[in-house]
Structure 1
Amino acid sequence: MEHRNLGASGLRVPVLSFGTGTFGGQGPLFSAWGRSGADEARRLVDICLEAGVNLFDSADVYSNGASEEILGAAIRGRRDKVLISTKMSLPMGDGPLDAGSSRHRLIASVESALRRLGTDYLDLLQLHAFDAFTPIEEVLSTLDTLVRAGKLRYVGVSNFAGWQLMKSLSIADRHGWPRHVAHQVYYSLLGRDYEWELMPLARDQGVGALVWSPLGWGRLTGKIRRG
């Protein structure tokens, strides 16, 4: 398996990673993606590790936390052999504190993710969406606090526009806070928007791309269900 540095960081990651959106299968959206339980997840992790794939990506919204719980069970006893990436910021409920990237939300969400995953640190935390209601300074200073506390190794984003990413990087540089080293984006032969704005920016700023849906939501596999 080929490994590369993630962005401008020193973290070496495989060129292929494993997304765990199919773990859990709870709710109308994620039940349609897949319903892998702990036993199947453990078998899939075994296959990945045998092939040299050791980066596993999740999110708190995947089956309302069940994906992280199942991933945690699947890697139990071999935490030192894997890299865990997860995401947060999207709504986890209807309450005013159940969404976004405020200090209150991030600290609580990281603690919850650590508990579900059965670990005391995350290798990569990515903000799942830009929070326009919280000052970027508050978001980045909170991430800095969590990194200094040893709960996060690296930070990144997902689904950000170019200006949102650049503004975050500029503020991080100004205050000496951790820079985003990864951007998880939709990019496939069918969706090439990443090339227009974000790819040149990411290359110049040392932000690595973690691509989701490389097969264009299944349309390039020839197995998409129609009608």
Structure 2
Amino acid sequence: MPPDYSEELRLGAAGGRRIAGLDEAGRGPLAGPVFAAAVCLRLDALPSDLRDGLDDSKKLTAEKRERIAELLPRYAETAVARAEVEEIDRINILQASLLAMRRAAEALGSPPDVALIDGNKAPALACRCETLVGGDGRSFSIAAASILAKVARDAEMLRLALEHPGYGWERNKGYGTAEHLAGLQRLGPCLHHRRSFAPIRLLLVGETAATPCI
């Protein structure tokens, strides 16, 4: 079943409460920041074709995601934020994802009354938080956030691919594909690789072990 607005209505959106959907993109890749988005929808303001297009970002084509991401800020309050590779390596990817979500929520024009969050962990926010496992496929607000976060992160990885060719980021977006792993073996990690992730950490350990002592 596609997402709908039932969770938002349960939390009081029909009574004027501001419900923000939060989701992240980029927990699994070996390189690049993790992004998050926050979206406060007004369902009555959304054109039907835009509303009907909302779904888990992974189920949509890149073209559909980009079209929705372009239109959505006209009809909803949105914010996108990120946590950097250095933060991922310092506090771990889960905490960095929650940090990016908190930054996105705090970047909204005014604070939400309730945050509806994809997954089973909530960031530290001043408002009430409710988690929803599989929320990007159940809630319009979270689905919208998942699309914005995914589009923003993909655009950043395309930009980084131009600066650091050879890893195939324009295609794999930093995930550990065969092409990316081959690039790592050939070129070694760059500053945008997550050194706390096992494939990068083990590669660096191997490089250190192979360096002769002088």
Normalising to structure 2: TM-score of the pair?
0.29
Structure label with greater radius of gyration: 2
Normalising to structure 1: TM-score of the pair?
0.28
RCO comparison, higher one (Cα < 8 Å, 6+): 2
Q: Normalized per residue, which structure has more helix? A: 2
